[in-house]
Homo-oligomer: A and B are copies of this chain.
Amino acid sequence: MTQIENATKGIITTEVELVAKAEGISPKIISNNIATGRVVILKNNSRENVIPIGIGEGLKIKVNANIGTSLESSSNEEELEKVKIIESTGADALMDLSTGQNIDITREKILAASNLPLGTVPMYQAGKEAIDEKNDIATLSVEKIFSDIEKHCKSGVDFITVHCGVTRFVVSQVEKHRRTTGIVSRGGSMLAAWMKATGNENPLYEYYDRLLEIAHTYDVTLSLGDGLRPGCGNDAGDQPQVAETIILGELVKRARKSGVQAMIEGPGHVPIHKIESIIKSIKMLTDYAPLYVLGPLVTDIAPGYDHITSAIGGAMAGMYGADFLCYVTPAEHLNLPNVKDVREGIIAAKIAAHTVDIANGHIDSIQQDKLMSEARYSLDWQKQREYAIDKCVFNDIDKGNPCTMCGNYCSMKIYKNYF
């Protein structure tokens, strides 16, 4: 039985207990939320070496880090270095988006190297191989798509992004309403191109029951990809995006009915004044399924700093209902991220997630800030290190009287001298 089936029958699974303990919430509440689909637990039922995490209503905001080889850059060794950094910096999950040589081997190595839930986009592998072999995405067969999905699930992947909502109707909306940046999702563009070339419907939509069956076997969580997410602020909240969200809302209900966990992927690029309405609208249209956002990036003009543009967007999206933040690194829109970029991306996303946890009233998050502030007021640098999101920044600081900012004119020293 899957998590959702157990929860529906009122059975508290080991995974629910682990998540409940990690979150400091009663297992009963978490189980109820899994039954309604407002919470998912990421764990493939065939995978041993994974610590399950919960995502959704009432839980802390989680952070995902994307890695993966490309043909132009990176090796398995470099990606495994990134896995280490991801674990030590404290992301909650990771995705392998490899499109380099030997994707299967890369994935196996990452699965063995980490006990964080792992996600993949099987369509990348299917699409890549069609492009590599025949230089034409249209040559891709439906069988290949589903066999790659099954292969990923069988190998132990805990969640998969599937762009089931990129239907013919949805793609027609892109053609009808002039978009600035077209389709910016790789999986989405592959499927749209395939449909355009073959005249067929999106197989992930047409044969969605087949997908549900595979996901059910391994209790893999479907991350219903937003192939039509806006690729720039100007496209945010437009007809194609909302049309796809409506389809995703239909699919999330079918997944729940089949005992399959599902979450929704969200934007993308969104200017700050549109974040509240777009996030709340996605939540309503998808019946409050856990929402996994990529950013959103609040401006398009800051390549090199998109960990910052997305930290702004992630914090605001979280405040309005997003549950899971995919990090964005400084390298986004420029290169494949290196190890340093991965670390910077995780820290920025964790800052955004933590600010939302405070806003949502998570006591230990609030307490961490209070303890840090008390340590700051006491000028206790060892304790500040303890509560800091990145302890490394204290490495350079002299122990005695380290801050060079105010010296004798330190407001805290002056105040404490007189009060």
Contact = CB atoms under 8 A, between A and B. Distances in A.
Interface in A122-144: 124, 127-128, 131-132, 137
B124 A409 contact: yes
Interface stretch (A18-26, A215-223, A245-253, A355-363): A355-363
B131 A373 contact: no
Given A70-B404, A404-B72, A184 B411 contact: yes
Interface in A366-419: 366, 368-370, 372-374, 376-377, 384, 387-390, 392-394, 397, 402-412, 414-419
Given A233-B373, A404-B335, A356 B300 contact: no
Contact of A358 (B271, B308, B372): B271
Most buried by B among A304, A373, A387, A419: A373
Interface stretch (A49-57, A82-90, A152-160, A192-200): A192-200
A234 to B, nearest CB: 5
Contacts of A393: 303-305, 334
A319 B415 CA distance: 33
A264 interface: no
Interface in A338-359: 347-348, 351-352, 354-356, 358-359
Contacts of A299: 351, 354-355, 358, 369
Contacts of A347: 302, 305
A397 B304 CA distance: 12
A42 interface: no
Contacts of A175: 419
B405 A335 contact: yes
Contact of A181 (B358, B388, B389, B412): B412
Given A99-B406, A131-B408, A351-B312, A377 B182 contact: yes
Contact of A403 (B234, B334, B417): B334
A311 interface: yes
Contacts of A180: 370, 373-374, 377
A89 B409 CA distance: 30
Interface in A211-230: none
B336 A405 contact: yes
Interface string A3-46: 00000000000000000000000000000000000000000000
Interface in A164-213: 174-175, 180-186, 188-190, 192-193, 196-197
